[in-house]
Chains A and B, each alone.
Chain A
Amino acid sequence: MTKEDIKQVVLDIIADIAPDEDLSAVKPEVRLRDQLSLDSMDFLDIVMELRKKHGIEVPEADYVQLASLDSCAEYLLPKFQAKGSK
């Protein structure tokens, strides 16, 4: 699992929870909230889908780490690697 793979995982989740959004030009370094119509319930959906589909837990204190695609990849990479090594 690479950072690019993780960005795609997050984008796939967003495609499910925000199906009206155009995700073709999402800038990885920009906060998702600043370029997409996402609210706090949507971020909870991202957390839930990571839990359900990938067995990844994101504690509430770390929600801020999901701000952008880049920060998602940075934060989630070790978690996905830990899952992969099990």
Chain B
Amino acid sequence: MSSKTRIVITGIGLTAPNGNSLAEFRANLLAGKARIAEIDVRHMGRHPAGVCDFDATKWQKRKEIRNGTRVGSISIYCAREALGDSGLAWESLDKSRVGVYLGITEHGNVETENEIHNISQFGNDTKYWTHHHNPRTVANNPAGEVTMNMGITGPHYTIGAACAAGNAGLIQAAQMLQLGEVDVAFAGGVSESIHTFGIFAGFKNQGALGAHEDPAKASRPFDKNRNGIVISEGGAIYVLERLEDAQKRGARIIAEIAGWCINSDATDAVLPNPERQAECVRLALKRAGMQPQDIHIVSTHATATALGDIQECTALREVFAGCPGTYINNTKSFIGHCMGAAGALELAGNLPSFEDGWVHPTINVDELDPECAMPGLVINQAVQAPRLDAILNNSFGMLGINSALIVKKYGVA
């Protein structure tokens, strides 16, 4: 890291298809419990999808929910829960020194599709197009809804980074804290993607939409018979602070951001590039001042596409050869691909490892694809590890965006 300013995590709020708090999410990951529903997708019939069931009215008035977006509600829920978890003295905090940085894969598709459908009921007359369309579809919408709900007057914006967005949100926040732009950051990733048929249709026509007669088994990274992505919604937002500030207020420090990298394949819009992925991981390690063997959990991006999983495994085998203390897992096998929220949720589900000493597995591997075989891959059953001090969180996305974020147990050199 170019700056010596250390950044720590002091709060986490999340909603995942299988949990509305970190404790619930973690318990289900350790118990091997997936939760994938089957939903009606407009124009497309029924498909597996990860659906969140958090109570939006916990933190929003019903009018806010009606006028806002689904991803706005997800963001507000996660941010409010993260605030509660952080123990920040919110009432006395200077809200102009708080920033909101949320990663998104896409935004606006849901509302645009809904309005196109709406006016189709009125002969496509645009006078029936809602005046709420623009505030709902501006790209900063999810972060902006958080600021309005919480009275935050510092900076807010979203970071569009395809499926690397969860990491990108956290990285942006860490950088802004290092620059002194803010004192407290709410950062992570969010997604409402299950409410847009376009994403389902796009993956379907790309031959990359997962299916299985049992929805809970539809997302199966590394399995020989995997057949694509299960689209999910969700969110995970972290409270980040500079270490010195967290120490000053006596905060519970959950983990420390150790290093990161975002790079680009510059090769193909959809096909991943293992060489660039490996470079991304190596640069994140270098910036963290770590060696591959210092990483104890690699949280993979693997989405259960035929080629993508193999490409990531190729990159990881290259970087982590000869690292017997490195465990490799995957969260999408439980909750599908939460798109903009994926990286942030997948990191969150692994963070309790620092305290409980367990590595959650990747599930739904009935027959391991030999091309995905790797030492350290934790399959179907959680394992207890002798030492868990650092997590590498991989998130990759379309247009060749790669992100690697390293988080370490606080207090470990």
Name A's B-contacting residues (CB within 8 A): 17-20, 37, 41, 44-45, 48, 51-52
In the bound complex, CA of A45 to CA of B61 (Å): 17
Name the CB-closest residue of A to B132.
A41
Inter-chain contacts of B63 with A (CB < 8 A):
17-20, 37
Q: Is B66 within 8 A of A51, CB to CB? A: no
In the bound complex, CA of A37 to CA of B62 (Å): 13
Q: Closest 6 A-B residue pairs measured CB to CB?
A: A19-B62, A20-B61, A44-B131, A20-B62, A20-B63, A18-B63
Q: Is A48 within 8 A of B128, CB to CB? A: yes
In the bound complex, CA of A41 to CA of B136 (Å): 13
Inter-chain contacts of A44 with B (CB < 8 A):
131
Inter-chain contacts of B128 with A (CB < 8 A):
48, 51-52
Is B122 at the interface (CB under 8 A from chain A)? yes
Min CB–CB distance B73 → chain A (angstroms): 14
List 16 A-B pairs, Cβ < 8 Å: A17-B63, A17-B66, A18-B63, A19-B62, A19-B63, A19-B66, A20-B62, A37-B63, A41-B67, A41-B131, A41-B132, A44-B131, A48-B130, A48-B131, A51-B127, A52-B122
Inter-chain contacts of A17 with B (CB < 8 A):
63, 66
The contact string, 1 if C-beta is below 8 Å from chain A, for chain B 213-231, is 0000000000000000000
In the bound complex, CA of A48 to CA of B35 (Å): 39
Inter-chain contacts of B130 with A (CB < 8 A):
48
In the bound complex, CA of A37 to CA of B64 (Å): 12
The contact string, 1 if C-beta is below 8 Å from chain A, for chain B 106-132, is 000000000000000010000110111
Inter-chain contacts of B66 with A (CB < 8 A):
17, 19
Inter-chain contacts of A51 with B (CB < 8 A):
127-128
Inter-chain contacts of A52 with B (CB < 8 A):
122, 128
Inter-chain contacts of B127 with A (CB < 8 A):
51
* Chain B 60-76 interface residues, beta-carbon cutoff 8 Å to A: 61-63, 66-67
Q: Beyond A17-B66, A51-B127, list 11 extra A-B contacts (CB 8 Å).
A: A17-B63, A19-B62, A20-B61, A41-B67, A41-B132, A44-B131, A45-B131, A48-B130, A51-B128, A52-B122, A52-B128
Name the CB-closest residue of B to A18.
B63
In the bound complex, CA of A45 to CA of B128 (Å): 11
